[in-house]
């Protein structure tokens, strides 16, 4: 089971270098030339993220888990906060605004960037769709 807790603006108990390395290994990975990847998609702030068919949020041994065909992602902290709001009712803009309030100590643009990156990652992994 993969653990998704990479949102660097919220990682506790890690140094800035640890968070940077973790982010580099995730959706924002660095290319061999040291340049960051460009986003693969543009997310419409008015779209409503929802779990893809065959994907569900469940629990395993007291841990929240995102069950997908042939794999599962253990969720905690900010990743759980994001996925729990991907219900087809919240828009991306609402999701970002709620989490910016929840994590008010972090820089708002950083929170937004990390959320959009995580949504993009879930979409790329076919765990998430966006409704209009």
Place of tokens 């390395």: 21
Burial class (CB in 10 A: 0-12, 13-18, 19+), 72: middle
pLDDT exceeds 90 at position 107: yes
Asked if pLDDT for residue 58 goes beyond 90, the answer is yes
Would you say residue 114 has pLDDT above 80?
yes
Instruction: Tokens for 45, please give them.
Output: 């702030």
Q: What is the mean pLDDT of residues 39-65?
A: 90
- The confidence band for 40, taking pLDDT boundaries of 50, 70 and 90, is low
Using alpha carbons, list the distances in angstroms from residue 110 to 49, 62, 89, 115.
20, 30, 24, 9
Geometric angle at alpha carbon 59, from 13 and 14, rounded to 5°: 10
Domain count, the chain: 1
pLDDT at 108: 95
pTM above threshold 0.85: no
* b/e code 110-127 from CB counts within 10 Å (16+ = b): ebbbbbbbbbbbbbebeb
Which residue segment(s) compose the domain that 6 sits in?
Answer: 2-131
């Amino acid at each position: 089971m993969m653990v998704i807790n990479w949102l660097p603006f919220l990682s506790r108990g890690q140094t800035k270098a640890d968070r940077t390395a973790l982010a580099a290994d995730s959706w924002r990975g660095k290319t061999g030339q040291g340049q960051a990847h460009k986003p693969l998609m543009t997310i419409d702030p008015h779209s409503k993220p929802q779990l893809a068919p065959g994907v569900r949020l469940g629990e395993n041994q007291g841990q929240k888990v995102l069950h997908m065909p042939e794999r599962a992602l253990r969720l905690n902290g900010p990743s759980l906060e994001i996925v729990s709001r991907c219900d087809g009712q919240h828009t991306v803009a609402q999701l970002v605004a709620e989490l910016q309030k929840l994590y008010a100590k972090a820089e708002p643009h950083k929170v937004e960037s990390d959320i959009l990156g995580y949504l993009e990652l879930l979409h790329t992994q076919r765990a998430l769709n966006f409704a209009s």
